[in-house]
Amino acid sequence: MKTTVLKNVRVLDTESCEVTHYDNVVLNGGRIAELNHAPVQEDGREVIDCKGLTLMPGLIDCHVHINMSSWSTVQNATLPNSLVAARAARILNGMLMRGFTTVRDVGGADRGYVMAIEEGTIVGPDLVICGKMLCQTGGHQDVRAKWDEQDPEYLRFQLGSKSHICDGVPEVRKAVRQEIRAGAQFIKIIANGGLAPTGVPITHLAFSEEEIAAIVEEAIIADTYVAAHAYTDKAIERCVRLGVRTIEHCVFVSEKTARMMKEKGCFAVPTMATFETLEDKSSSMTPEQQARAQQARESAYNAMVILKEAGVPMAFGTDLTHISLHYHQSDEFTYRSRVLPAKDVLQSATINAARLLRKEHEIGNVFAGAKANLLLVEGNPAEDATLLSKPVNMRLIIKNGEVIKNTVA
């Protein structure tokens, strides 16, 4: 088994946000074997002198869509599957080079990507998938034209489509079972309208309470949880009350609902990057849609303050679409830093995200036994999280013990 020794490092603990100097951190077989305060025998092992820079866990993004490379979801759903996959490979590699060693795809990615990453065919972050997202007929991700009465089943086989259309309790139960069978590690639902120009107004809810409760029950049967796309307070309240565990976007959450999220152990996944890049998409929006998007952006900042006040754990999310926008992923650190302390922003992309994924025993912090998914960075991100917005500050990127980038030597 390959052993690498990282010597002369300052290790940032993402829980306490304290920094401790170690003489060396030994990596073995893709894991952190030990952290030592005394020099070790180097005899033939790969040794990297980290020059006292900060070692921290690889970043985690809990809201991505690796299959999204077009301006619109409608257009994306019509692309050839091979083109979608080829672009996704590039998108995934870009994420890893920005320091993201784990990402959660919240609609679209299938098991083939997980296999391709595991075998090394795609060099990208570890991927957590939900398969297609569950959406009701006429819901926010039913991308068929209004005059298209085809059976929506075909959308399940378009790689660039994110949705699995299902209605009524028996169908939603079956849809969950189909996604789980195909490799889903959690279930995603569309529980609200949205901001997309071709989508459904934000005032619409989606799925009946009976349907949501059935989806939650099926997810629990499969030992997993449900994530919901929800903007309005009404949509969020309903999901939280019915047992949904992670609320995506969470833009118009009220203080009362935030307190309920805290009581129920929910996570919020704000996605500022997608709102901050709306101007790039504005050519496809009417002035009224643009005004609403602007309002959503302001509310999304306010929501983070409300969630922090209520003590709701927040995880890092970006929700970027067009292939030319994915590089804004790292800017999420800067956006969040406008309203949250550096410590909270850092934890959203490390320890909180690991807990959301139920993987805190192996990722999200630096400890013996953890996966060797590591970054060596300039400065201290617990004091200034915007450092993570600049990939140039990442002098070393290590995934599963393999050095992906090294500019420290």
Residues engaged in binding Zn ion (CB under 5 A)? 319
Task: Rank residues 314 and 376 by Cβ distance to Zn ion and give the closer one.
Answer: 314
- Give 3-state DSSP helix, strand, coil % of the chain, rounded to 5: 35, 20, 40
d(CA 388, CA 98): 9
Residue 409 CB, shortest distance to Zn ion, in Å, is 38
* 3-state DSSP assignment of residue 307: helix
At residue 217, φ and ψ (nearest 5 deg) are -60, -45
C-alpha of 405 from chain center: 22
Residue 73 CB, shortest distance to Zn ion, in Å, is 10
Instruction: Supply 178's token pair.
Output: 């189909």
Task: Rank residues 239 and 382 by Cβ distance to Zn ion and give the closer one.
Answer: 239
At residue 54, φ and ψ (nearest 5 deg) are -90, 125
Task: Rank residues 62 and 366 by Cβ distance to Zn ion and give the closer one.
Answer: 62
Task: Rank residues 274 and 373 by Cβ distance to Zn ion and give the closer one.
Answer: 274
Q: Return the C-alpha torsion angle 116, 117, 118, 119, nearest 10.
A: 50
Residue 68 CB, shortest distance to Zn ion, in Å, is 8
Task: Rank residues 4 and 76 by Cβ distance to Zn ion and give the closer one.
Answer: 76
Residue 106 CB, shortest distance to Zn ion, in Å, is 5
Residue 63 CB, shortest distance to Zn ion, in Å, is 6
Instruction: Supply 361's token pair.
Output: 């025993």
Q: Which residue is nearest to Zn ion (CB)?
A: 319
Task: Rank residues 319 and 344 by Cβ distance to Zn ion and give the closer one.
Answer: 319
* 3-state DSSP assignment of residue 224: coil
Residue 130 CB, shortest distance to Zn ion, in Å, is 11
* 3-state DSSP assignment of residue 79: coil
**162, 67 Cβ separation under 8 angstroms:** yes
